[in-house]
């Protein structure tokens, strides 16, 4: 039977915003064009595997139980499978595979520090910031300042050097915070 999976609008917009913010960090770090391409595609597609999850669980308006959380964690493997099937290179596959790693080693797969690909470390920051500052069925959106406070309470999860660059970009408004919530698709 032919698979019929749909990426919901939230995840689509989330991918766009994360890729734009990640791209700005890459520019600040003077990534070469090949790295910029990998960065852009990895951040755009990092959550594409969520299309394979039970959408009732993914969008549940409450805190998830342990089994449900384990189910949601599988999206990284589905995302990797999708990008592999689309023919994207191994760097992109790995960047996506490790986008839920914490800098202190407490993330999904336990990689730590510089073991985590730099693109995954960038996505980790932009991803979290975007989730915090946007509405989800299970939570309200935070202001930019609240999101920074929240992230700084768990600063060990993030590459601090990258976090500083990201914060500076947002603070100086040098980053394009894509607001496409007004678009009717």
Q: Name the closest residue to Fe ion (Cβ).
A: 47
Interacting positions 105-134 with Fe ion (CB under 5 A) = none
Residue with smaller CB distance to Fe ion, 122 or 172: 122
Other beta carbons within 10 angstroms of residue 128's beta carbon come to: 19
Contact pick of 11, 47, 101, 130 for Fe ion (by CB under 5 A) = 47
Residues whose CB is less than 8 angstroms from the CB of residue 35 and which lie 6 or more positions away in sequence, other chains included: 26, 119
Dig out the tokens for 74 from the structure.
Answer: 């599988």
Torsion-angle region of 110 (φ positive above 0: left; ψ -120 to 50: alpha; else: beta): left
With 0-12 / 13-18 / 19 or more C-beta atoms within 10 angstroms meaning exposed / middle / buried, residue 127 is buried
User: C-beta of 169: minimal distance to Fe ion in Å?
Assistant: 21
Token pair 């309200």 is found at 140
- Of 80 and 175, CB closest to Fe ion: 80
Only segment of 40-48, 51-59, 137-145, 156-164 that touches Fe ion (CB under 5 A):
40-48
User: What's the rounded Cα separation, in Å, for the pair 7 and 51?
Assistant: 5
82 near Fe ion (CB under 5 A): no
Would you say 47 or 159 has its CB closer to Fe ion?
A: 47
Least distance (Å) from Fe ion to the CB of residue 46? 6
Alpha helices in 86-143 (DSSP H): 90-97, 118-132
Q: Which is nearer to Fe ion, 47 or 101 (CB)?
A: 47
CA distance 145 to 111: 29
Nearest approach, Cβ of 171 to Fe ion (angstroms)? 25
Nearer to Fe ion, 2 or 133 (CB): 133
CB 127 to Fe ion: min, Å = 6
Residues making contact with Fe ion (CB under 5 A): 47
């Amino acid at each position: 039977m032919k698979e019929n999976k749909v990426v919901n609008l939230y995840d689509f917009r989330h991918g766009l915003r994360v890729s734009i913010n990640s791209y700005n960090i890459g520019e600040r770090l003077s990534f070469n064009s090949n790295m910029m391409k990998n960065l852009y595609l990895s951040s755009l597609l990092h959550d594409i595997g969520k299309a394979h999850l039970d959408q009732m669980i993914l969008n549940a308006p409450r805190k998830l139980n342990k089994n449900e959380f384990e189910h949601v964690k599988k999206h990284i493997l589905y995302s990797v499978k999708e990008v592999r099937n689309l023919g994207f290179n191994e760097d992109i596959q790995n960047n996506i595979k490790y986008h839920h790693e914490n800098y202190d080693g407490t993330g999904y797969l336990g990689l730590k520090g510089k073991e985590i690909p730099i693109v995954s470390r960038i996505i980790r920051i932009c991803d979290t910031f975007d989730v915090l500052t946007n509405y989800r069925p299970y939570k309200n959106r935070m202001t930019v300042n609240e999101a920074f406070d929240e992230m700084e309470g768990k600063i060990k999860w993030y590459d601090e050097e990258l976090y500083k660059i990201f914060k500076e970009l947002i603070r100086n408004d040098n980053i394009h915070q894509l607001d496409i919530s007004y678009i009717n698709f």
